[in-house]
Amino acid sequence: MSDPAAPVDSSRTLELRVPEMDCPSCATKVRNSVERLDGIDEIDPRVTSGRLVVAYDPTRADEAAIRERVRAAGYAVEDAASELTVSVPEMDCPSCATKVENALADVENVEEVETRPATGRVTVAISEGTDAEDVTAAIESAGYEATPVADEGGAMADPAAVWRSRRAVGTGIGAVLVAVGMTLEFVFPAADPALAAVAGRTYALSDLLFIAAVAVAGTPILRNGYYSARNRSLDIDFLMSLGIVASVATHHPFEGAMLAVLFSVAELLERFSMDRARDSLRELMDLSPDTATVRREDGTEETVPADELAIGDRVVVRPGEKIPADGVVAEGSSAVDQSPITGESVPADKGAGDEVYAGTILESGYLEVEVERKASDSTIARIVRMVEDAEREKTEREQFIDRFASVYTPIVVALAAAAAFVPPLLFGASWSYWFVVGLTLLVISCPCALVISTPVSVVSGITSAAKNGVLIKGGRHLEAVGESDVLAVDKTGTLTTGDLSVTDVIPLEGADEDEVLRRAGAAEHRSEHPIGQAIVGYAEERGLEPDASDVSGFEALTGKGVRADVDGTTHYVGKPGLFEGLADLEHTHATDGGVVLESMGYEVDAGSQCDREGCLDVLGDVVPDLQAEGKTVVIVGTDEGPIGVVAVADRVRPEARWAVSRLQDRGVRVVMLTGDNEGTARAIADAVGIEEYHAELLPDEKLERIRELGEATRPRNGTGSEATREVEAEHGSGRVAMVGDGINDAPALATADVGIAMGAAGTDTALETADVALMGDDLTRLPYLYALSGKANGVIRQNIWSSLAVKAVLAAGAPFGIVTVIHAVVIGDMGMSLGVTGNAMRLAGVEPETPDPDELAE
């Protein structure tokens, strides 16, 4: 595709928005279409964000041609540059978001608006040529400060600014005025002289103090209420403004002042609590350092902003410093704390050639890292973007609450108006009493706490998970994990490490272990087969590296093994079938008389076929036993007979059994799906405690099995514990989650209700395609994910029902005078907003459980 001779700095990067490219299949189609062009250096389709990044040689390709190839694949193209992100820190509730959306609806060339109050951001899709100032001016016309940000990882507002703001000062002054007025009116009425009479109403000093409190503390409310009316938004600012003005106009200055002060306090506390909710995202943003030390070609060092690092730069990282960019270690070695990315508590040793990530911390030593990704494309930057994007997609509960609120608010407002006017007009009741009842219902009518109950929980849960090495792409995935009662688990690379290693060496006919390994490693040295490479690697670890001059005549025997001359003698290494006609595998002798074999659990009968000790039937006894344990058996020998048996296996992850046990304790039905043979599948399933497995599955059969698991409420083959079947019968939801390596299992992951990718750190495919990504190869994060999701679902339900219950109780008590304006603001608005936010913050306290060493498999 690309010309190797082209200079590196001649490449340009084009980023396009392709909104309809929303699955791996779409990404493949777009990639194949664009690849047909000459001069394409790199193609990076990002399914989650609907973006396509293309690096190309401008002398051989152009932007128009790339766009045309994307359209030829059947997808509409929008320039990524047409998306503007604006920071609106004061937009901290759905009511604010609605006001901003209404204001932007009147701006010409604004095609799409996404408001994210939990992060204080607005993303606007605008036509080419539209000025960003037009967008910010529209947002400011709704009463909010707006600042364009260069990227979605820009800084947020300082949380301490809430208590130093002009509104906070005005609220404080208003509170003092109300306190003095109440003292005069209710404690020392003799000191509360009448000062004026207007329109037949007498105003005492306390009344004027209350009106002054409205003017000072209520001005921001009235201002926002004006913008709400102008933008046709029936929100809490409009309703509170209406209540304050009506209170003063009808000679209820005390109620108006209390409403202004208490609501201002509620707004400040809500903004502060929302800022606390944003802190977890700030922590993610702050993981990457601001500066980096670059070593130039002349040996000098220069400190530059991390955002200015270019691919190929060599950065110097010293103990205690953060690595500023994703890259590869070029020089040095050190233990690196990767917990910000993978959640792993134990530092990982890194040396030359190892991959490292931005935001991870050098524990000791010294590293020089060659930059492979720009700061905006680093793993941590993508995590931050995806966490922010997670708020865009509303959960089913959020959609329900939005629909409910759109009906609930007008109904309660109508009831408030009826309560204020119907009793006095029809039954001659007290105007003053029923006005206060109507005012109370007006305050109750705003469903702020109800509407923020789900999104604040989702943001808290997702950011908490990200800090623990689990990336959740959206609120619906957070909910769906906890609601899934079946977890399909891939074997290779998930339950096992995915790397073959030697597990057993059985020497025969007088050879010892080192001799068997040396000869096997020498014969396999030129082999490219994974089993051969595992044997060579193990031999090298034992210091048994072959002398190349002693090995010749190498030949790969397809499907059987290899043949090579070692020390002048022809050796064979391969499957037992390779030795048919070469050796009698049914009658061999263990080198040590069978002592090692007996320690491994084999029964060795001396003299069963002859008078020698350690007489052994390799083909009938040893091979089947090893294969039953899920191991691949390799025989090592010569024309004269076998000299040893080597068993190779993909090792089970130490934490796999513990993780499976914890999931089953939660009532999750764990099913293993693998393309491996029946014997290996059975051995691995037994090793980790999985009772139901399906082996020898082709990729399309895995998809079908996942569909079947979703339809079933109990295991089809009748396996599974009685407790598990009872849970399924009572709580079965038909939802299936699947965990795999994120690349080979991509189709199956996409078919499942929730796809969970293992080891996604640094893996673009896994990050882009999975619904949930475990950043490290750590199965202990699976029980944590289920625990977090279960608690998040519980918190969301608690927030929703408590909000509804409190509103209902307050509304029922208002007509009887039990509930006043003060109760409605302090409990119904301020109290519940703080309550649901504080409840959501509990999700940050869910920590991954670490198994004890004695709980891990050896």
> Are the CB atoms for 483 and 793 separated by under 8 Å?
yes
> Are the CB atoms for 738 and 670 separated by under 8 Å?
no
Please tell me the distance from the alpha carbon of residue 436 to that of residue 461, in angstroms, as a whole number. 40
Phi, psi at 46, each rounded to 5°? -110, 95
Q: Which residue has the tokens 């009826």?
A: 418
Q: Answer positive or negative: Cα dihedral of 813, 814, 816, 819.
A: positive
For 317, the enclosing helix (H) or strand (E) is strand 314-317
Q: Kindly write down the DSSP assignment for every residue of 532-593, as one continuous string.
A: HHHHHHHHHHTT-PPPGGGEEEEEEETTTEEEEEETTEEEEEE-GGGGTTT--TTSEEBTTT
Neighbours of 219 (CB within 10 A): 16
DSSP lists the bridge partners of residue 123 as: 85, 114
Please tell me the distance from the alpha carbon of residue 214 to that of residue 10, in angstroms, as a whole number. 64
User: In the 3-class helix/strand/coil scheme, how is 169-192 assigned residue by residue?
Assistant: HHHHHHHHHHHHHHHHHHHCHHHC
Q: Which residue has the tokens 């951001």?
A: 121
Cα angle 90, 94, 416 (rounded to 5 degrees) comes to: 110
Phi, psi at 5, each rounded to 5°? -80, -15
Q: Which residue has the tokens 């890259």?
A: 327
Q: Of how many residues is the chain composed?
A: 858
Please tell me the distance from the alpha carbon of residue 695 to that of residue 704, in angstroms, as a whole number. 13
For 609, the enclosing helix (H) or strand (E) is none
Q: Which residue has the tokens 């709400």?
A: 228
Q: Compute the half-sphere exposure of residue 570: CA atoms within 13 Å on the CB side of its CA.
A: 9
From residue 492, alpha-carbon distances to 442, 495, 541, 676 in Å are: 60, 6, 24, 9
Please tell me the distance from the alpha carbon of residue 262 to that of residue 269, in angstroms, as a whole number. 10
Q: Compute the half-sphere exposure of residue 365: CA atoms within 13 Å on the CB side of its CA.
A: 21
Please tell me the distance from the alpha carbon of residue 259 to that of residue 240, in angstroms, as a whole number. 8
Q: State the pairing for strand pair 736-740/692-694.
A: unpaired
Structure tokens at 406: 């759109």
Residues 6+ apart with CB under 8 A from 530: 500
> Are the CB atoms for 642 and 509 separated by under 8 Å?
yes
- Of the residues 57, 326, 377, 490, only one is catalytic, namely 490
Q: Kindly write down the DSSP assignment for every residue of 234-262, as one continuous string.
A: -SHHHHHHHHHHHHHHTT-HHHHHHHHHH
Q: State the pairing for strand pair 486-490/736-740.
A: parallel
> Are the CB atoms for 214 and 244 separated by under 8 Å?
yes
Give catalytic status of residue 490 as yes or no.
yes
> Are the CB atoms for 622 and 602 separated by under 8 Å?
yes
Burial of 676 (0-12, 13-18, 19+ CB in 10 A): buried
DSSP, collapsed to helix, strand or coil, labels residue 354 as coil
Please tell me the distance from the alpha carbon of residue 229 to that of residue 224, in angstroms, as a whole number. 9
Please tell me the distance from the alpha carbon of residue 307 to that of residue 320, in angstroms, as a whole number. 20
Q: Answer positive or negative: Cα dihedral of 167, 172, 175, 181.
A: negative
Residue numbers annotated as active site: 490
